[in-house]
Structure 1
Amino acid sequence: MTQSDALPIKVGSVPNCHSPGPGVDAGPDAPVIALVGAPNAGKSTLFNALTGANVTMGNWPGTTVEVARGAWRPTVDHDCAAQGCTCTENCSCPATETAGWTLLDLPGAYSLDPISPDEALTRALLVDCPPAERPDLVVVTADAANLTRSLYLPAQLREHRLRVVLALTMGDVAAQRGITVDTAALSRAIGCPVLMIDPRRRNGMGELAQVIADQLRRPVPAPRSRDLSVTEDGAEPDELDIDDERFAWIEEVVAQSTHHADPGRRTWSDRVDRWATAPVIGPVLFLLVMWCVFQITTTVAAPIQDALSGLFSGPISDGAGWLLTQIGLGDTWVRGLIVDGLIAGVGMVLTFVPLMTLMFVLLAILEDSGYLARAAVVTDRVMRAVGLPGRAFLPLIVGFGCNVPAISATRILPDAKHRLLTALLVPFTSCSARLTVYVLVATTFFGQYAGTVVFAMYLISILFVVGVGLLLKNTVWRTMGASPLVIDLPAYHWPTARITAAVTWQRLKGFLKTASGIIVVAVCVVWALQAIPARGGADFGQVAVEDSAYGVAAQAIAPVFEPTGFGSWQTTSALVVGFMAKEAVISSWAQTYAVSDPTTGGSAADLGTQIIASFTESSGGHPYPAVWAFLIFLLAYTPCVATLAAQKREIGLKWTLFGIAVQLSLAWLVATAVFQIGRVFW
């Protein structure tokens, strides 16, 4: 890694692992257990299984890399000698005790030789810290089906004074491939405890806890000895000599502890991947799968969404109005804030909860099954054409859920230019917040074809990523290139209900957190602006929305969007509010039309009628080209303030402002072109 690629990770700034700052842990004196392993080896699945929901994520002090941290309190055998018990023959001590350990889920790493910021942090915490500040024990997850490739990191760790436990995962995959691992022989050869676990089904968790408890009671073992004092030519050993010794040792260890019943046997995963990762069929299959996801989402969730919309616009709004009337606030601005503001705005966003839930469930199934990992292979050629490695697709695909963690995920890229370009491209990936607006608009204008329209928006998102990437590569970074993709593909699995539910809830919780946080603030700000009279002389809260501060400001901005076909002040004002969070576009529409016509109550059907009328008027009778222009502008312009904050943290203020300029310019130009060309034919 060159000096320009280096990151702000200083050994001296790495904190004591036993006191890692605020967050979830098992107590100030609790032993610290670090989980490490290569990507797709089951490390994070193990961490989630052991800690449950009691987890925090945060940037490690002195770095910009996130580390998950949680508490694990397993039940283990009581050890009288270790506890200093003065037992007699009739021992009264309990047979078991509850341990309390703090778990750290360190970033995935193939070795202790860092090529990216996350791997640099893993090395810093495990090796570069003084011995007294290292974790009390390290659990290494390794793929039993690919043991030779998985033992390099344990080999390096055994060269340091660390308690190490090797946890083998993917035992079912190894069995399918006819591979048998003798854990006892492997333990003797490596010099540390080895056991087989299945974190997806939570098998072996008790045995792992007991092994860790036993190891914590013992002194730190001596490092693995190596005979590298003299090489064949008599020179001092260099890094290549050290690596040769490690690989020779790994080969000997694997030979002593594994047996292959049929080394040439092809697995079910191999046969599926012959088609799933093929140059032509692979991308077509991926697009077909994603089309099915969006079609199922929009079709199945629509009736539930309509029912929730009726609930908010009917009984809840009526009940709130009645209650406010009973306490004497029925004709005051308080009613406007609660009914026309919070219930109409936040309620409309919450009607999308079933849709988001179904979407997250389907994506979690694809992810847990192992299929989504193939997307990186399928898109490798496209990524390299842009000047990015195939590995850059991983942050980009995270961006289709949320742009904020996607920008943080760019840290997995070893090259600084690749990280910068990927962070600039992430905002063009269509996040789940935009999905809510897509569905509302597509359902309103395109009915039964809404799923196909939403799918098209995700294709357009990919085209934006590729197009902007090519533009920046050929202008800003003309010399940037990318190496071919090297990635471990996990075997296909039947998805488990527990993991699917956990992943779905984690993502849905983020959506609800936005709705209860930023959206509430946005709704209150919009309502206040709509309540402040700017002309006409009406009182506060009694002004027509077009004469309010909100309406007057929106009308001043609207002419900028007349060439795009959606230059109505109701639509442009919603886009301005959407700068905070894209879900706020819906809440802004719901508030504006509820205040303009209180009889609508903000229901989905009436809101759709208002939106159709607005687009028809602003486009001069060409609503469909205007709708496509609006959707494309929504996709391309700045996602939200949280994304900007993440970009500023990762790539600095200058490049963040550069990204905003590119997003707004491109959004307006493409939207204008779509409408101007579209209205000629449509």
Structure 2
Amino acid sequence: MSESCCGDTGSTTGATLTATASVALVGNPNVGKSTLFNAATGARQRVGNWPGTTVGVTEGEWRLDPGHALRLIDLPGTYSLLPISPDEAVTRDALYDPGNPPDVVVAVADAANLARSLYLVSQVLEVGLPVVVALTMTDIAADRGIDVDPQRLSMALGVPVATVNARNGNGTAALAHAVGEALTLRTVPASPRLDAIGDADSLADDDDPELLVAERRYAWAHEVLAQTVGESRATTTLSDRVDRVLTHRWFGVPIFLAVMWAVFELTTTVAAPLQDRLGDFVTGTVADGVRGFLTELHAPEPVVGLLCDGVINGVGQLLSFVPLMLIMFMLLGLLEDSGYMARAAFVADRLMRTMGLPGRAFLPLIVGFGCNVPAISGTRVLANPRHRMLTALLIPFVSCNARLVVYMMLASVFFEQGAGTVVFAMYVVSIALVVVMGLLLRGTLFRDMASEPLVLDLPPYRRPSLRVLGMHTRQKMSGFLRTASGIIVATVTVVWLLASIPLGAGTFGHVDPADSVLGGVSSAISPIFAPAGFDDWHASAALTTGFVAKEAVVATVAQSYSMDDPGDGGAPAPLADALRDTFDHSSGGHALPAVLAFMIFLLAYTPCMTTLAVLRQEVGTRMTLFSVALQLSVAWVLAVAVFQVGRIFW
């Protein structure tokens, strides 16, 4: 099988490759489009909204060779250029943009499901832009007994075809060469002949023109298949045999839960020692060194307090979770790259639909376990506006990675060896909460809405690629650190300032935080949480900054305790001991149910201000305010219930 070949039909015009040239990636979902994009652009990417919409589109710089680079656009996956959802409309609009169309379209086609990909290719060929076809999944096609000849496919389509395996880099150079030639020659392909059904004049009165055109496209696709695909042999693949177990009606859900429990247990077991050492180094060695250096320079005491008690202590506590997040991202990347996460969505969808939730809505809900912000944006894959609104209202109850950092801090302090199981339980509670709230909303505000099944292509199981895994982990970690660093530095600065301003006696920078503006405001709020067992200003302050971002909870906790007056002239108590004393005192000796109640409240209340901003874009101001009120009410009720029931047993 050759790596690439080029068609030679159509007219050409002279043009030169420029650094501002743009290439659009178009393809069905799960054909390897995003993997190809990541391989081509590496870390040179950014995500922004398509002009005139709120749909996010990823762009990156693709360096064809040392002298040439272009703008690569990863458009949302679609099965057709006749859109049924906002993200599919962006793909159509991008190709038909009269003001700034892409210079070349790379149509990504799945060799294992070529007929379905060719349906979209037939529409792309009619756009009137230079086209290159990237043929992916050829190894999977071979395993299924399907042999696609790229040379014949190129001749049948009249455009260059490059066989690509982005996971290992094979064929990417050939694709780059084909794209470079297409940019230079500007060859516009001929439109496919869709005359398999007959002329439009011969339509009967009751014929549906759109349906007939679709039938013509499929007929054309099968004609192309007959010319390019050798004799196929029916085979039962390893993926098929494994799926009989992992997607089983009864076994699928328990297996999924067991896999996720193993992920959290392994993460906490491996990361805990690294986390302790890194935390002690940053908040101990580094902070003491900086404090000593600033003291020798006779720096003003407020500056020393801000840097040591504020920035270093708050940011350092968050940085101690870098090993945990790194291991978590790697494990989840393994599951995703192997193909298992798509099966998890399939299994969970079956469960969710029995609870009355729309089937396809589970896709953005899955994304929410990483971050609620792109998950809410991802509701645009749903064609029904009511489905989009309901799913957007449920996503804030999905436990994101930012909450994971707080879970880990509290679970490792209070539950030690059982920390992994406790964190896993929080995610189970999150899923249950989504189901219950979905049923509640479906029975009230959305009672007139009909559900729809999930249509999902299950990708084949693959051996995880170290290259793809490394890129996935690096992108996730850089995103986490980039988001957290800016928010945390700003938050700890504000917290330090509020904790340094006295409410009564004292001077700026010389006040017990409990008697400061921060302590006073937090103390006024804390009685609300007395029924939940954490009536303490430290907890209230942390939950307040958590409205900005959940990463700020850890920094605020660490900072507020580090600034506490020890009372005897010594150093403040270690954070773990201080946390145990606080929850034991505020709960009347029932620390474990109190800390569980705190974690439940953290899970259910408003994720962050960015989530609210995106939610407002999707559902409007009125429904966003309703969402906040709902989240706070549910969080408080659940926290009180957990503590009041838990204190009976602990």
TM range (shorter): over 0.9
Return the alpha-carbon distance in structure 2 between the equivalents of residues 412 and 256 of structure 1: 34
Return the alpha-carbon distance in structure 2 between the equivalents of residues 371 and 258 of structure 1: 29
SS of 1:337's equivalent in the other structure is helix
Deviation at 1:73, TM superposition (A): 2.3
Residue 369 of structure 1 is matched in structure 2 by 338
Return the alpha-carbon distance in structure 2 between the equivalents of residues 99 and 322 of structure 1: 51
Residue 480 of structure 1 is matched in structure 2 by 449
Q: Does 1:529 align with 2:498?
A: yes
Deviation at 1:390, TM superposition (A): 2.5
Residue 249 of structure 1 is matched in structure 2 by 220
TM-score by length of 1: 0.89
Return the alpha-carbon distance in structure 2 between the equivalents of residues 126 and 144 of structure 1: 23
Amino acid at match of 2:90: L
Amino acid at match of 2:250: V
1:563-594 deviation line (CA, Å, top 9, x unaligned): 01111111112111111111211111111111
Return the alpha-carbon distance in structure 1 between the equivalents of residues 539 and 257 of structure 2: 31
CA contact (8 A) 1:340 1:601 kept: no
Return the alpha-carbon distance in structure 2 between the equivalents of residues 298 and 548 of structure 1: 36
Deviation at 1:308, TM superposition (A): 0.8
Residue 569 of structure 1 is matched in structure 2 by 537
Pick which of 445-454 and 218-227 moved more: 218-227
TM-score by length of 2: 0.94
Question: Could you say what the CA RMSD is over the residues aligned between the two structures, in angstroms?
Answer: 1.9
Residue 57 of structure 2 is matched in structure 1 by 67
Return the alpha-carbon distance in structure 2 between the equivalents of residues 234 and 649 of structure 1: 45
Amino acid at match of 2:44: N
Pick which of 437-446 and 132-141 moved more: 132-141
Return the alpha-carbon distance in structure 1 between the equivalents of residues 134 and 301 of structure 2: 65
CA contact (8 A) 2:17 2:68 kept: no
Deviation at 1:489, TM superposition (A): 0.8
Residue 320 of structure 1 is matched in structure 2 by 290
Return the alpha-carbon distance in structure 2 between the equivalents of residues 146 and 646 of structure 1: 35
Residue 48 of structure 2 is matched in structure 1 by 58
Pick which of 283-292 and 213-222 moved more: 213-222
Alignment of 1:95-110 (within 5 A): 98-110=67-79
Q: 1:561 to 1:234 in 2, by over 3 A?
A: closer
Alignment of 1:125-274 (within 5 A): 125-127=94-96, 129-130=97-98, 133-216=100-183, 217-227=185-195, 228-230=198-200, 238-263=209-234, 265-274=235-244
SS of 2:109's equivalent in the other structure is strand
Residue 547 of structure 2 is matched in structure 1 by 579
Deviation at 1:392, TM superposition (A): 1.4
Return the alpha-carbon distance in structure 2 between the equivalents of residues 418 and 567 of structure 1: 39
SS of 1:596's equivalent in the other structure is coil
Return the alpha-carbon distance in structure 1 between the equivalents of residues 406 and 186 of structure 2: 58
Residue 308 of structure 1 is matched in structure 2 by 278
Return the alpha-carbon distance in structure 2 between the equivalents of residues 560 and 439 of structure 1: 25
Amino acid at match of 1:251: H
Deviation at 1:159, TM superposition (A): 2.7
Deviation at 1:221, TM superposition (A): 2.9
Identity value in percent: 53
Deviation at 1:681, TM superposition (A): 2.4
SS of 2:46's equivalent in the other structure is strand
Deviation at 1:261, TM superposition (A): 4.3
Residue 8 of structure 1 is matched in structure 2 by none
- Counterpart of 1:642 (choices 570, 586, 610) is 610
Q: Does 1:466 align with 2:456?
A: no
Return the alpha-carbon distance in structure 2 between the equivalents of residues 326 and 234 of structure 1: 93
Return the alpha-carbon distance in structure 1 between the equivalents of residues 203 and 584 of structure 2: 83
Q: Does 1:557 align with 2:528?
A: no
Deviation at 1:40, TM superposition (A): 0.7
1:305-347 deviation line (CA, Å, top 9, x unaligned): 1101110232111101111111112x61111111111111111
CA contact (8 A) 2:194 2:220 kept: no
Return the alpha-carbon distance in structure 2 between the equivalents of residues 602 and 283 of structure 1: 47
SS of 2:61's equivalent in the other structure is strand
Q: Please, which runs of 5 or more residues in structure 2 have no aligned partner?
A: 1-15
Return the alpha-carbon distance in structure 2 between the equivalents of residues 601 and 186 of structure 1: 74
Q: 1:269 to 1:665 in 2, by over 3 A?
A: same
SS of 1:280's equivalent in the other structure is coil
Residue 269 of structure 2 is matched in structure 1 by 299
Deviation at 1:262, TM superposition (A): 1.9
Pick which of 135-144 and 356-365 moved more: 135-144
Residue 119 of structure 1 is matched in structure 2 by 88
SS of 2:341's equivalent in the other structure is coil
1:540-576 deviation line (CA, Å, top 9, x unaligned): 1011111111111111111111001111111112111
Return the alpha-carbon distance in structure 1 between the equivalents of residues 19 and 111 of structure 2: 34
CA contact (8 A) 1:628 1:675 kept: yes
How many correspondences in the alignment? 629
SS of 1:165's equivalent in the other structure is strand
SS of 2:340's equivalent in the other structure is coil
Deviation at 1:30, TM superposition (A): 2.9
Q: 1:600 to 1:487 in 2, by over 3 A?
A: farther
Return the alpha-carbon distance in structure 1 between the equivalents of residues 642 and 208 of structure 2: 64
Residue 493 of structure 1 is matched in structure 2 by 462
Q: Does 1:281 align with 2:251?
A: yes
CA contact (8 A) 1:348 1:602 kept: no
- Counterpart of 1:437 (choices 400, 406, 425) is 406
Q: Does 1:544 align with 2:512?
A: yes
Return the alpha-carbon distance in structure 2 between the equivalents of residues 72 and 483 of structure 1: 39
Deviation at 1:241, TM superposition (A): 1.6
Q: Please, which runs of 5 or more residues in structure 1 have no aligned partner?
A: 1-25, 76-96
Q: Does 1:345 align with 2:335?
A: no
Q: 1:540 to 1:575 in 2, by over 3 A?
A: same
Deviation at 1:387, TM superposition (A): 4.0
Deviation at 1:224, TM superposition (A): 2.2
Q: 1:36 to 1:602 in 2, by over 3 A?
A: farther
